[in-house]
Amino acid sequence: MSECVLKVSGLGKAFRKYRSEWQRIFSWFGISVTPAAEHWVLRGVSFSVASGEAVGIVGQNGAGKSTLLKLITGTLRATEGEVQIHGRIAAILELGMGFNPEFTGRQNVYHAAGLMGFSRKAIEHALPEIEAFAEIGGYFDQPMRTYSSGMQMRVAFAAVTAFRPEILIVDEALSVGDSYFQHKSFDRIRQFKEQGTSLLFVTHSMGDVQTLCDRVILLDKGQALRDGLPDEVVDYYNALIAEKENAKLTVEQLRQKNGWILTKSGTGEATLADFRLTDADSNQEVHLVRVGQRVILTAIVKIHADIPRLVLGYMLRDRMGHVVWGTNTWHTKQIVEDLRAGQVVEFKLLFTCTLGPGSYSFSPALVSTDTHLVNNYEWKDNALVFDVLNAGNPYFIGTSWLDAVFDINRRGMV
Amino acid sequence: MKDMLLSAWRYRYFILSSIQTEFRARFIRSRLGGLWMIIHPLAQAAIFALVLAEMMAARLPGLANNKFAYAIYLMSGMLAWSLFSEVINRCLTLFIDNGNLLKKIVFPRISLPLIVTGSALFNNLLLFMAIIVVFGLLGHAPGVQIAWVPLLMLVTLALALGIGLVLGVLNVFIRDVGQVVPVVLQLGFWFTPIVYAPNIVPEAFRPMLHMNPMTTIVQSYQNAMLFNTTPDFVGLGWLFPAILILLGGAFIMFRRASAEMVDVL
């Protein structure tokens, strides 16, 4: 994990506009021309990736993710800063680029691998492996126009990953294909990682980011806004989406002693005064809950300004950041209306803990509709953390307790 | 320049297989496939021969005895011109056509013009062989001077690649170039003594004809293939350094431009 395979320092890319294209052409021949306009899509981005590390790159559309990837792979040239790469870089970006539909899978593999710079010998050597991995049988020697899109994807993926690169760029392209092949390709990527390949993931799926990445970089308006552990950056990203819609919103982040990251954002018309979990029978506050225990989640909300509507939403997440359950009072049709400054609203949520053993967190959100994008009064990621422990039930794994029973019958010899 | 050639060398396998692939692609789902590349210029020569033979044959110096002399004359010029125009036409849209590839995949960009050059050269060699066969059928036995043709092909190729690269790069930024060039090329065809002999051009215009570099080349082809005389060494001697400078300039321009090319594709 120590050796650095990718180092990006002060990277910036500007697209230049000239008053006339001829000025651009003169500029190649050493005549200095000041461009009419420079549009920076990426600026001052620096980070490094160690061998075997998986780094996620997230950001909204237009944040500069694609530009960054193109600069790293080298199809675009940086305006400033530099990218240092030690080893070969492969990208699963546009699977099937350069395939000719009239040619067979085999011929296209030769062509595509040639495009990656491999010699005929190397390709011939890897071909049986590629054919086996793609698992498309006799179709491998049929023209590609007869393939389904999934089959094309399989051949393309098999070809791109036939040779282990030092850096692998994975786009959302990977989410096509059937689930069998998806598992297979993720397995291969995981193997590469174990062998020391660094991964760069670009995705909008926060779930993927949290399961696959060791680190996440958040790009916004061409700058690396955050670079850190997945849960921290993902929560920040969610808060940032809200900020876009709510101008005077503030985002605070703080890592607690127990390792959970607390992200708070909101405009503050309504805030949580108290948020606690208590036992349904004894009314005692609990931080440790047994599987099957009846508990009440209480939220006391203070109103600081007149608001027409208030919706409380909950998100229950496991340690990996996966959402286990979530809903809000908009969906349950329990919207509180016409609130005045100074009022206090108490929400109680009674539930039976049917969660599996582990650590969980509640993230409440005070909003006005079904999403936090319209009005985000307050959003607190991981505001309440509790542990679930299994006492009394037989051992089980997973995040849910299903009250399932085995029914076993022994039959005689048939 | 050195690393450009070096990276092209590393991709030699890809370049060769792409040329092969391009050729093979023509045969898929087309009965005559790549033969069309030969049939087109030959058919064009045949049409000109049919229409203009009576008028032109008498004008060809020293060949009045062979009734197919004009057809042979035409084919010699066509051989040169088809190579020249194929390379220019394909280079012109080369980077635009491969825009997606350039944006998404990293490979030495110099491979693209090299693939075009290679496949055009291969087509032209096939056309050359076909023309020799046709010469035989028409009862014209080429002399030893025909051995100059491969060298002349290289000169044509270098000239066309130089012009084509410059135009291809310009076309990425200024798309009008792509519209203008075919017209200019058409004009160039008639400004080159392919269909007619230079002696039918009025005396006053002849120096203009010789300002066209293709005139020198086409006449050298005709010397080698028809008149069995040596190429126009004086003309080629002037042309050679000019082509080298053009080609060098084109490569420098291509190199400078390739950084920005992807930005606008």
pLDDT, tens digit (0-9, with 9 covering 90-100), for A1-14? 457 888 888 888 88
CB B194 within 8 A of CB B219: no
B97 contacts on A by Cβ (under 8 Å) = none
CA distance A24 to chain B (A): 9
Q: Answer whether residue A400 is part of any domain.
A: no
Total structural domains within chain A: 2
Element containing residue A85 per DSSP (H, E): strand A80-85
CB A100 within 8 A of CB A78: no
Residue A222 lies in a domain: no
Residue A8, beta-bridge partner list: A47, A83
Average pLDDT over residues A162-171: 86
Query: Chain B residues with CB inside 8 Å of A70's CB?
Result: 103, 262
pLDDT of residue A136: 85
Nearest to A15 among B102, B107, B263 (CB): B263
Domain that holds residue A40: 4-87
Nearest alpha-carbon partner for A59 in A72, A49, A73, A45: A45
* Residue A288 φ then ψ, to 5°: -125, 125
Query: Tell me, what's the pLDDT at A1?
Result: 45
The position carrying tokens 């291809």 is B168
Q: What size, in residues, is chain A?
A: 414
Structure tokens at B93: 């849209």
Query: Cα B100–B102–B108 angle (5° rounding)?
Result: 155
Find the Cα–Cα–Cα–Cα dihedral B245, B225, B67, B48, rounded to 10°.
Answer: -40
CA-based R_g, chain A, Å: 27
**Mode of pairing for the β-strands spanning A270-279 and A294-303:** antiparallel
Q: Where residue A307 sits, what CATH number does that domain have?
A: 2.70.50.60
Which of A59, A87, A115 lies at the terminal end of a domain, its last residue?
Answer: A87
Task: Tell me which chain B residues have a C-beta less than 8 angstroms from the C-beta of A16.
Answer: 260, 263
Token pair of B240 as six digits:
């050679």
Cβ atoms < 10 Å from Cβ of A284: 7
Q: Give domain status of residue A293, yes or no.
A: yes
Partners of residue B17 in chain A, C-beta under 8 Å: 110-111, 114, 120
pLDDT tops 60 at residue A329:
yes
Give pLDDT tens digits along chain B (265 positions).
Answer: 677 778 888 888 888 888 888 888 777 777 776 677 778 878 887 887 777 776 666 666 666 566 777 888 888 888 899 999 999 999 999 888 888 888 878 888 888 999 999 999 988 888 888 888 888 888 777 788 888 888 999 999 999 999 999 999 999 888 888 899 999 999 999 888 888 888 778 888 888 888 888 988 998 998 888 888 888 888 888 888 999 999 999 988 888 888 788 887 7
CB A180 within 8 Å of CB A150 = no
Provide the 10 A C-beta neighbour count for residue B175: 11
Residue A112, pLDDT above cutoff 60: yes
Task: Answer yes or no: is A148 within a domain.
Answer: no
Least confident of A233-237, A326-330, B145-149, B233-237: A233-237
* Closest CA relative to residue A329, chosen from A353, A383, A365: A365
B121's enclosing H/E stretch is helix B111-137
Alpha-carbon torsion, ordered B21, A142, A124, A98, to 10 deg: 50
CA distances from residue A274 to A344, A361, A383, B6, B147 in whole angstroms, order as listed: 11, 15, 10, 69, 96
Question: Average of pLDDT values for A256-268?
Answer: 73
Residue A384 lies in a domain: yes
Please report which residue ranges of A136-178 form alpha helices under DSSP H: 149-160
Angle at the Cα of A76 (from A70 to A78), degrees rounded to 5?
Answer: 105
What is the CATH number for A15?
Answer: 3.40.50.300
Cα B198 to Cα B221: distance, rounded to the nearest angstrom: 14
Which one of A28, A91, A94 has the shortest CB-CB distance to B253?
Answer: A28
The arithmetic mean of pLDDT across residues A229-252, rounded, is 69
Over range A197-221, report the average pLDDT.
Answer: 81
Q: Cβ–Cβ of A28/B257 closer than 8 Å?
A: yes
Taking residues A149-174, report their average pLDDT: 82
Residue closest to A327 by CA, chosen among A312, A337, A340 = A312
- pLDDT reading at A295 higher than 90: yes
Interface of B with A in 73-112 (CB under 8 A): 100-107
Cα B193–chain centre separation: 15
Of A87, A103, A118, the position where a domain reaches its end is: A87
Contact by Cβ (8 Å): A5, A166: yes
Contacts of A98 in chain B (CB under 8 A): 101, 105
**Facing B10 at nearest CB: one of A29, A73, A117:** A117
Biggest CA–CA distance in chain B, Å, is: 60
Count of CA atoms in the C-beta half-sphere (13 A) of A272: 26
pLDDT tens digit string along B172-228?
888 888 899 999 999 999 888 888 888 778 888 888 888 888 988 998 998 888 888
In a domain, A202, yes or no: no
Distance from CA of A302 to the nearest CA of B (A): 52
pLDDT at A373 over 80: no
The number of C-alpha atoms within 13 Å of A80 and in the hemisphere containing its C-beta is 11
A313, part of any domain: yes
* Separation of alpha carbons A23 and A19, rounded Å: 7
Q: Is B174 helix (H, G, I), strand (E, B) or coil?
A: coil
A97:B105 CB<8 A = yes
Q: Is residue A413 part of a domain?
A: no
3-state secondary structure of B208: helix
Length of chain B equals 265
Q: Name the burial class of residue A230, with classes exposed (0-12), middle (13-18) and buried (19+) by CB atoms within 10 angstroms of its CB.
A: buried
Bridge partners for B1 per DSSP:
none
Which pLDDT value is given to residue B180?
A: 92
